[in-house]
A and B are shown apart, each in its own frame.
Chain A
C-alpha cells in the first residue's frame, strides 16, 4: 500500500514539475493581461477576450479582482514576473501610487479614437497616464409613477426646498400611500460609499468651484457641510429605515425598497439601470434621475453629477511587444462591433468616435440637463487622498450621528481634519 502511495506521490511531483516548466515556456508574440476591477463586467470581458484571441491569435488574459480588493490584487500582481499590461487608475490617489508605471498614451492610435479629454488623467508633464473610457452619472433616481400617485410631478422638484417639502409630505402619508419617500440610506459597507463618496461630492464640488481648485488640495473647509447635513438628514428622516438600523442596512436592501416600489427616491447612478429594469421589472418610462439638491444657491441650474473612475492605464514596465499588443487590443475594443457593443452595454456612453448609444434613460436625462445649459457637477471626490481611509472615517462618524451617539461636529471633523491628515500621510511617504 505504502509503495503505491509513494508511487502516486512521485508521479504527482514529477507532473507538477512538468507543468511548472511548461509555464516557463517563452511566449512568441506580445500578449495582453487585463486586470479588471468591475466584477459585474467579468463575464463580458472574458467573452470579448476569447473573441479577440479567436480573431487575431493574440493571447488576452482577463483577471477580475473580487469586489473591494482591486488595490490589493494590483499591488500583488505588479510584483510578478508577468504583471498586468492593462489596468485601471481612476483618481488622483491611484496616479500617485501607480503613475510611475503608466505608459504615455497621448501618441497612440487608441487615443486618436477618443472624442474628449474631459475624463483623462494627466501626469505632471502633461503625459496622458490614464484614459477615461466611459463616464457615469449619479443623482436621485425617481419613480415618476409613485410620485404622481402622491400628487406630484418631477417638474415640481427644482431645488432643496421643493424636494424637502414633497419628501416630508410623502413620508407623513407613508402608511396611507403604501410607500415612503427615500429608500434606506444604509451605512453597511455595500451601501455607505453612496454617501461617503457620491453624496460627499456635493460639498466638495461647490467648495472647489468657489476656490477654483484644479488639483488635489492639501486641505478642505466646511463651507458646504451644512448642505451635506441638509440632504443627509432628509434621507435619514423621510425613510422607512432610520436610526441605528441604518448601520446594518445593505445596498441590496435599499435597491429592493426602490425596486419593489416601496420608495419614490433612491440615490444612485446610471450603472443601476439594468438592475432596476431587468431584475426588478421597473418600466424605463417610470424612471428618471434628478440632480442631488442640498440647498446651495443657484442649484436649480445644476445638472447630474457626471464623471468617471473608469480610466485605463497601460503598464510601461512590460516588454514593448506586450505594450503594442495591449494598445492594439484597446483600439479594437473601442472600434470593433463586438467591443463597442460591450462598452455600451456594460459602461454606458463612451468617449470614442465609434461608440454605440446605450439604451439607458438615465444617460438621456444627463444629456438633457446639459442640453438645457445647466452646469455639470463634476466628480470632485476624485481628489480624495487615501480614499478608502478617508471614507471609512466619514462613515464611522455618520454612523454615530445617525444613531444618536455622536454629534454632527464629529462628522465635520472626520471630513475636514480627516482630509488634511490623510493628505499629509499620503504625501510625506
Chain B
C-alpha cells in the first residue's frame, strides 16, 4: 500500500478520539493569538476611534467633543491637498511600478544569462529601510540638481517625481519576484498550443500569459496601491512636505505632503488638541479599506480559474 492510496480524511486526525478533545480545547489554542490580536489591534483601534471624538493632549485625559474633530479635519485645506496629492501619486506609482516590474520579470524569464544575479540585484533595494533610502536618494538628487542651481526642496514637481523614482527603485524588485512566480506558473501546454496555432509573441502575451497571471497582478496592484496611500518614511525624509505654500491667512500648505505625513504633522503640531489628527487617521483608515476592497473586487473578477 502506498501513501497515495490514503483517503484525505483517513488519518489519525479524523479519529473521534482525537477530534473531540480538539474541538473541546480549540479555544485554548486560539487564545494566545486572539489575545495578541486584541491587545495589538482591536483595543488600540477602539481606543483610537473613541479618541477621534475627543479633545486630548495625552490619551489618558480627554474631553468628548462629538464630530468637531471630523468637521475640522475635513475643512482643513492641507488635508484635502494631501489627499489629492496622494491619489495622484498612487496612480502614477501604481502604473510605473507594475509596468516596469512586469517588464523586468518578463525579461528575466526568457533564459537570459545571469538571470539569478539580476533578480537578486533588483530585489536588493527592497531590503533598505525607507528613511535611509530617502536620504540616499536625496543626496543623489541634490548632487544632480545643484549643477542647475536648484534643489529637490524648491519645486513641488521635483519632490513628486523624486518620490516616484525612489518608490520605483525600492518596489520594482519585490513586485518582479511576484510576477516571476506568476509567469513560471503559466501552463506550458497552453503556451505550446498557442505556438502551434501560430499565435504571435504579442498575442501569446496578451491572450495567454496576462490572463494566467491575473492573481499576481491582483496582489501587486493591491500592494502598490495601499503602499502608496500609506507611504510615510520616504515622504518624511525625502522632502518632509517642502516646498511650502503660504496662503493669504498665513496657514501653510506643504505641497509634497502625503496623507500619512499630514496626519502625523497635525497630531504632533496641534499641541492643544490631537483629536483632529486622530479623526484624520480614522478617515484615512476607512479610505484605505474602501480602496483596497474595490480594487480587489475589480481584479478578482478578471482572474482565470485553471
Q: Which A residues lie at the B interface, using CB under 8 A? A: 71-72, 75, 78-79, 93, 96-97, 243-245, 247-248, 386, 388-389, 392-393, 396-397, 399-400, 403-405, 410, 413-414, 416-422, 425-427, 429
Contacts and interface: CB of A to CB of B under 8 A. Distances in A.
Contact of A403 (B55, B57, B59, B151): B151
A283 to B, nearest CB: 35
A399 B153 contact: yes
Contact of B251 (A245, A392, A421, A426): A421
Interface string B234-247: 00000000111010
Given A96-B272, A413-B250, A248 B243 contact: no
Contact of A396 (B57, B146, B149, B244): B244
Residue of A93, A388, A392, A426 with most chain B CB atoms under a 10 A cut-off = A392
17 contacts: A71-B268, A75-B268, A79-B59, A96-B272, A97-B57, A244-B154, A247-B154, A396-B242, A396-B243, A400-B243, A403-B151, A405-B154, A414-B252, A416-B250, A421-B250, A422-B250, A426-B272
B233 interface: no
Given A396-B153, A418-B250, A426-B271, 13 more contacts: A75-B58, A96-B272, A97-B272, A243-B149, A244-B146, A244-B150, A247-B151, A248-B146, A386-B269, A392-B244, A399-B151, A404-B149, A417-B248
B23 interface: no
A389 B246 CA distance: 12
A417 B60 contact: no
A417 B57 contact: no
Nearest to B274: A75
B178 to A, nearest CB: 30
A82 B190 CA distance: 66
Interface in B54-81: 55, 57-60
A93 B270 CA distance: 11
Nearest to A100: B57
Contact of B250 (A78, A245, A419, A427): A419
A248 B244 CA distance: 17
Interface in B207-223: none
B228 interface: no
Nearest to B68: A429
B249 interface: yes
B251 A429 contact: no
B154 A417 contact: no
Interface in B269-293: 269-273
A413 B249 CA distance: 10
A421 B154 contact: no
Contacts of A243: 149
A425 B251 contact: yes
A386 B155 CA distance: 25
A255 B269 CA distance: 30
B303 interface: no
Nearest to B154: A405
A384 B59 CA distance: 26
A188 to B, nearest CB: 10
B249 A405 contact: no
A38 to B, nearest CB: 20
A398 to B, nearest CB: 11
Contacts of A405: 150, 154-155
Q: Tell me which of A97, A244, A389 has the highest count of chain B C-beta atoms within 10 A of its own C-beta.
A: A244
Contacts of B151: 244, 247-248, 399, 403
A78 B58 contact: yes
A417 B269 contact: no
Interface in B147-173: 149-151, 153-155
A429 B142 contact: no
Contact of B252 (A244, A393, A416): A393
Interface in B36-66: 55, 57-60
Contacts of B55: 429
A79 B58 CA distance: 6
Nearest to B65: A429
**Closest A-B pairs by Cβ, 6 of them:** A417-B250, A421-B250, A97-B271, A396-B244, A247-B151, A429-B272
